[in-house]
Amino acid sequence: MRRSHEPLLWLLFGAGGLLAAWLGPALILFTGILVPIAAERGVTLLGYEAARGLLQGPAGLAAVAVVTLLLFHAAHRIHHTLHDLGLPAGRRTRLGCYGAAVAGGALAAAAVLAL
């Protein structure tokens, strides 16, 4: 019986799910709602320079990790959902899903490095 290599993907999926549950709502609340509302009222909660300074430190690495793992979580779920819907989810969908997650992670890394 061939041992499955799914555990590796499942670990990344689990890590992404945990981070999404922990940080997702807070990140959306802060960067998506509070910062723009404050900015409208002339209060700068997180200006460009501050964000840039933050992301150039270890927080940049953390941001790339969070983005990549969240994308992995989504990729894994999409891949398995395709399978559950009875669509042929084989090597190509696998490559497409996880490849997109890796590409998104690389894009995040490039963006942080370009700051």
Partner 1 sequence: MAGERTITLEVQRFHPEADEAPYLQPYTIPFSEGTSVLEGLQHIKDRLDGSLTFRWSCRMAVCGSCGCMIDGEPALACRAFLRDYAPGPVRVAPLDHLPIRRDLVVDQSDFLAKLERARTYLIPADERTPADGAYRQTPEEMADYYDYAQCINCLLCYAACPQYGWDQAFTGPAVLALVQRYDLDSRDAGKDARRAVVNADTGVWGCTLVGYCSEVCPKGVDPARAINQRKPASVADYLLGWLRPSGGEGTP
Nearer to partner 1, 40 or 84 (CB): 84
Of 64 and 79, the one with the shorter C-beta distance to partner 1 is 79
| Binding region for partner 1 (CB under 8 A) | 1-8, 10-11, 80, 83-84, 86
To the nearest whole angstrom, how small is the minimum distance from the Cβ of residue 94 to partner 1?
Answer: 13
Of 6 and 113, CB closest to partner 1? 6
**Residue length, the chain?**
115
Quote the CA–CA distance of 69 and 18 in Å, as a whole number: 9
What is the full DSSP assignment across 22-73?
HHHHHHIIIIIIIHHHHHHTT--SS-HHHHHHHHHTHHHHHHHHHHHHHHHH
CB of 2 to partner 1, least distance (A): 6
